[in-house]
Amino acid sequence: MRYAETGYNLEIDLSRGSIERVETDPRLTELHLGGLGTNAKILWDRVPPEVEPFSPDNLLIFGVGLLTGTPAPSANRTIISTISPQTLLMAFSVMGGFWAPELKHAGYDRVIIRGKSASLVYLWINNDKVEIRDASHLQGKGAQETAELIRQELNEPRAQVAAIGLAGENRVYFASIEHDKSSASRLGIGAVMGDKKLKAIAVRGTKDINIARPAEFLELCNEVLEYTRWRQENPIKGVPAIIARLGAAQEMDEVDEAWHTANFAWGNARYRRKDFWTEEIAQKWEHTQKKAVRRLIACYNCPVRCGGVVSHPGLSVKRYMMKCFTKLTYTIAAMTNELEFDFRIAGYAQEYGIDGYTAPQVMAFAVELYEAGILTDQDLPGFPSSNEERFFYLLDKIVRREGIGDILANGVYWAARQIGRGAEAYDRNTIKKHEQIPIKLGTLNPIYFLWWSTGEKINITQIEGQMPQAPFATREEREEFVKDWIQVPNERFKEYILNWEPGSFPYYPPIPAVCEMVDWPETMHYIDDCTGVCAGVSSFVMKPPYHIHNFPRIISAATGLDIDEDELWKITRRNRNLLRANNVRRGLRRKDERPPEDHWKKRFPEYEAKLLEAYYEYRGWNKEGIPTKETLNQLGLDYVSEDFERRGIYNHG
């Protein structure tokens, strides 16, 4: 009997119209746990580097975390993996809500999709009954509208639906896959789904999930719940309110945005507006937010409500869901002080199915080019005079790939090079061809330098967490913070924080310690993305209920694998290196590992080079960022090193 997982994948070939229920090898769970780790192994085995993102041979994998659907609190994540049309590297995006638990209860650990349908279709999974159904009547429909229409058509109000909107249908490189309060939005996975002409996947499941040691498992889950409640009632002192409690950054509950508006860049990562936040603006924003956000909600089996149900007049849907930084992305990019504008345009953008981080920056990039004379009225006929209206104009052009929108739909990096005429100089905020959060800070932060430069997610929010983002002002505050910091892997981390003085550079620990401080939070994210636990209660936040010391016991009680801390670290390193290997095989090298040039005002090139070299050595990679034979073989990835040798990767770097 398989525990925690079902032991079956659903294989769909849209070109042939075939559906197969395939039993999986339990050894894969021992080596990779599930979720992201197993997705990476499938992509390695079945999608060689010669396969393009929009090839029928590219896979789109909807993976379910190992603990997803079990009583583990906040274990509800879907990890969707493919090859990104934007970066041309392995993409993975994580989605919450209720879809993944429903798939597990239907009897599947993942849905693997290959090929391309001749016409628009959707997938209906109802326990053992699986159908590929016509979706021609859904063409051009919004993502949430599609979900509601499918539920009505199936006469199944409990069906959980993941769908694309018009952006995905038109293969916009930053199209998202939307599901209720959550979405998988980064790196263009919605474009791959649209390329395969798959409009949606609807799921209904009623089967049980087996647990190896249920009494022990429930006891551990209750400990997580008890600590979660305590943390919510005892916010961390001395940090911004949005990260003082558990859950995705508390944007939908907190209204004080002085920290964000003072520290984050505006427009296409151009500058900061330190004078922006006033008492008058604060009161106006509070009124706007309380009027728009009807209530706070949670994902499946989660005790933390961090998503907001937003209602706004004029939208094609009665409500939409918002969480985290999307509340500000459009406002900041449009360089407006109207929060109401963000709530309005974000609703349209979600129905179109488009990434709320990338899309605003692409629009700001276009406005900048227009102001610089690189784009003209001929490129943008009828372009409005206000930034807010310009953004609505550009949103419509992009999702429909009309006129200049056909170029902008490829993202800032590709659009800049297609437009030419100096547009490349305005590519200010991409890493590995992917737009980042628009931040422009003062002095280089070594930890964030490594996170931004080397992360396979190519997205800071799937790497950072656990560590304070700035030093506490006094020794007393630092001592208060570390006294109950049970989550750290070892006591050295407490000393790092105790000795971190405001204004110090480089960040207090020596370079080897910086590498260790980068590794720990990233490791936690990889555990989350394999188990399906939400980062908002585990890896992204400080002092979470899930940590490196209790995760092995929780995983072991659920699966019966009996994993200890050392083994969990090893599995995580194996998965980390397998993701890196997928990208190395597709051309990733050291030259790609750097944040935008003006991300920090003060840069230290020699120090940064030493940081990167030390981190590569710490990871067991060579000077090009390629895992060495020794590292791979120690992790049981000898098949990767053999592939690298056959391709001459070690010879040419």
Strand partners, 114: 13
Q: Give CA separation, 230 vs 219, 227, 246, 300, 545, in Å.
A: 17, 5, 10, 20, 10
What whole-number distance in Å separates Cα of residue 187 and Cα of residue 580?
16
φ, ψ at 471 (rounded to 5°): -70, 145
Helix (H) or strand (E) holding 480: helix 475-482
3-state secondary structure 588-602: CCHHHCCCCCCCEEE
Residue percentage of the chain with pLDDT more than 70:
98
Tell me the per-residue pLDDT of 590-642, one tens digit each, with 9 for 90 and over.
999 998 888 888 899 999 999 999 999 999 999 999 999 999 999 999 999 99
For the chain, the structural domain boundaries read: 8-204, 247-435
Return the SS3 of 322. strand
Q: Region 163-191: what's the mean pLDDT? A: 96
Alpha-carbon separation of residue 615 from 36, 286, 447, 513, 619 (angstroms): 23, 43, 10, 10, 6
What's the rounded mean pLDDT across residues 357-365? 95
Q: Kindly tell me if the per-residue pLDDT of 16 is higher than 80.
A: yes
CATH architecture of 247-435: Orthogonal Bundle (1.10)
pLDDT of residue 308: 81
- Greatest mean pLDDT among 2-11, 313-322, 469-478 lies in 2-11
Q: Is 627 helix (H, G, I), strand (E, B) or coil?
A: strand
CA–CA separation, 11 vs 17, rounded Å?
Answer: 11
Which residues does 639 contact at the CB level (< 8 Å), separation at least 6? none
Higher-pLDDT residue of 8 and 652 is: 8
Its pTM surpasses 0.85 = yes
Which of 395, 93, 57, 54 lies closest to 193 in space, CA to CA?
54
Give per-residue pLDDT as tens, 373-391: 999 999 999 999 999 999 9
Segment among 146-160, 310-324, 544-558 with least mean pLDDT: 310-324
Instruction: Supply the DSSP string of 278-304, one letter for each residue.
Output: -HHHHHHHHHHHHHHEEEEE--TT-S-
Q: Which pLDDT belongs to residue 165?
A: 98
**Residue 601, pLDDT score:** 84
CA–CA dist 333, 29 (Å, integer): 43
**More confident site: 515 or 266:** 515
500 touches 471 (CB < 8 A): yes
Is residue 618 classed as helix, strand or coil in its secondary structure?
helix
CATH of 8-204, one of 3.40.50.920, 3.40.50.620, 3.60.9.10, 1.10.260.40: 3.60.9.10
Q: What is the per-residue pLDDT across 550-585, written as a single tens digit (0 to 9) for each?
A: 999 999 999 999 999 999 999 999 999 999 999 999
The pLDDT value given to residue 265: 82
Distance CA 185, CA 171 (A): 13
How far CA 525 is from CA of 76, 80, 333, 372, in Å, comes to: 15, 15, 28, 41
- The closest of 53, 114, 41, 54 to 586, measured between CA atoms, is 53
Please name the residue ranges forming H helices in 502-619: 511-531, 551-559, 565-585, 605-619
Kindly list the strands in the beta sheet with 90-95, ordered across the sheet, starting from the edge strand earlier in the chain.
18-23, 8-13, 110-114, 60-64, 78-83, 90-95
Tally of CB atoms within 10 A around 123: 23
Q: Which tokens in the block code for residue 228?
A: 């979660």
Mean pLDDT over 472-492 rounds to 95
Length of the chain: 653
Contact 576, 522 (CB under 8 A): yes
Tokens of residue 210, six digits: 């087996």
Q: Prior bond to 506 cis, omega within 30?
A: yes
Cβ atoms < 10 Å from Cβ of 278: 11
Q: Which helix or strand (DSSP H or E) is residue 200 part of? A: strand 198-204
pLDDT digits (tens, 9 = 90+) for 313-332: 766 666 777 777 788 899 98
- Is the pLDDT at 181 greater than 80? The verdict is no
H-helix or E-strand spanning residue 469: none
503, 577 contact by CB (below 8 A) = no
CA distance 305 to 183: 16
Higher-confidence position of 334 and 321: 334
**Strands of 43-142, DSSP E:** 60-64, 78-83, 90-95, 110-114, 121-126, 129-134
- pLDDT exceeds cutoff 80 at 254: no
pLDDT above 90 (res 281): no
How many C-beta atoms lie closer than 10 Å to residue 445's C-beta?
A: 19
Mean of all residue pLDDT scores within the chain: 93
Residue 359 confidence class, pLDDT cut points 50, 70, 90: very high
DSSP percent split of the chain into helix, strand, coil, nearest 5: 45, 15, 40
